[in-house]
């Protein structure tokens, strides 16, 4: 099923995504009535590729995840925004579900969560029995907006308004390869240690011991990465180690 583009703006953040942003842009063609790409200084062909898909590219220096997305919201011509990262892909099923929402009238909910599904490095599709993270991506700026948290994308929804969840999935190709996995996780753990609220020393010391084994258990068995074989184990280990490093960096900063 397909239909006319919905009355919404598609918003994307980018930085040196020339090797994969075309896949993202192709997946959102016909979804909204404009595409806004907020680029923080790409030195590859990201901007040229985005413009070739009809996107409006706006440069803005990187100030963190929340502030950059908030800047992008202000560039959108429509109240409804669909946000997607430059390493994510809207499945045809999700695209049809979003278009269906706007077929007759504006949705009664002001924010929708998307079932974002991780694709492991080197894979084209999610693993067997893949879980998903519910992330706020489709929302009405009249009543919902991103918070200015530099570490995470956190949504603020006005009191008294409803949040829904869409059924179809979106694919997340977060890591190009295992080296990129380590580099990206090192950056995000640095950012979290620098910007998140300071925690008590006793709590950090305790979590330094428990963080890695607890996270390994959660990734392997709760989030079912064990079904992905060696890649699932490698992914669980890198993610758990990143969580451990975040605690270690927080502890280190408190000791100075």
pLDDT bucket at 33, cuts 50 / 70 / 90: very high
Give the model confidence (pLDDT) of 118-147 as tens digits.
Answer: 999 999 999 999 999 999 999 999 999 999
pLDDT reported for residue 196: 87
pLDDT reported for residue 1: 53
Mean pLDDT of 193-200: 89
User: CA nearest 2: which of 30, 33, 28?
Assistant: 30
pLDDT for residue 193 is more than 80: yes
| Environment class of 64 (CB within 10 Å of its CB; exposed 0-12, middle 13-18, buried 19+) | middle
The structural domains of the chain, with segments of one domain joined by +, span 6-172, 178-255
pLDDT reported for residue 158: 98
pLDDT reported for residue 255: 79
pLDDT reported for residue 3: 73
Architecture per CATH, 6-172: Alpha-Beta Complex (3.90)
What values do phi and psi take at 195, rounded to 5? -115, -20
pLDDT for residue 161 is more than 60: yes
8 A C-beta contact, residue 149 and residue 156: no
Residue 120 CB neighbours (<10 A): 21
pLDDT for residue 101 is more than 60: yes
Identify the bridge partners of residue 37 per DSSP, sorted by sequence position. Answer: 12, 57
- Measure the CA–CA gap between 49 and 35, rounded to whole angstroms: 13
Give the model confidence (pLDDT) of 42-65 as tens digits.
Answer: 999 999 999 999 999 999 999 999
- Measure the CA–CA gap between 12 and 81, rounded to whole angstroms: 10
8-state DSSP, 227 = G
CA dihedral for 98, 101, 105, 106, sign (positive or negative): negative
Q: What percent of the chain has pLDDT over 70?
A: 99
Residue 50 CB neighbours (<10 A): 26
pLDDT bucket at 254, cuts 50 / 70 / 90: confident
8 A C-beta contact, residue 14 and residue 69: no
pLDDT reported for residue 2: 60
pTM given for the model = 0.93
Give the mean pLDDT of the chain. Answer: 96
pLDDT bucket at 86, cuts 50 / 70 / 90: very high
pLDDT reported for residue 105: 85
């Amino acid at each position: 099923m397909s239909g006319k583009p919905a009355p919404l703006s598609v918003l994307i953040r980018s930085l040196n995504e020339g090797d994969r942003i075309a896949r993202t842009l192709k997946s959102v063609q016909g979804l909204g009535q404009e595409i806004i790409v907020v680029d923080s200084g790409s030195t590859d062909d990201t901007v040229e590729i985005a413009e070739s898909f009809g996107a409006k590219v706006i440069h803005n220096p990187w100030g963190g995840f929340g502030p950059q997305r908030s800047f992008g919201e202000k560039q959108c011509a429509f109240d409804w925004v669909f946000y997607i990262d430059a390493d994510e892909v809207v499945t045809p099923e999700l695209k049809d579900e979003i278009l269906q929402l706007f077929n007759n009238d504006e949705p009664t909910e002001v924010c929708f969560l998307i079932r974002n599904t991780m694709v492991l490095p080197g894979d084209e599709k999610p693993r067997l029995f893949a879980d998903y993270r519910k992330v706020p991506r489709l929302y009405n700026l009249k009543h919902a907006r991103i918070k200015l948290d530099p570490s995470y994308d956190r949504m603020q929804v006005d009191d008294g308004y409803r949040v829904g969840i869409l059924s179809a999935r979106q694919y997340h190709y977060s890591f190009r390869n295992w080296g990129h996995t380590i580099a990206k996780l090192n950056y995000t753990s640095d950012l979290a240690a620098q910007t998140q609220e300071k925690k008590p020393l006793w709590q950090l010391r305790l979590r330094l011991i428990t963080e890695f084994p607890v996270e390994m258990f959660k990734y392997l068995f709760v989030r079912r990465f064990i079904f992905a074989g060696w890649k699932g184990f490698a992914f669980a280990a890198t993610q758990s180690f990143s969580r451990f490093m975040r605690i270690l960096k927080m502890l280190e900063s408190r000791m100075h």
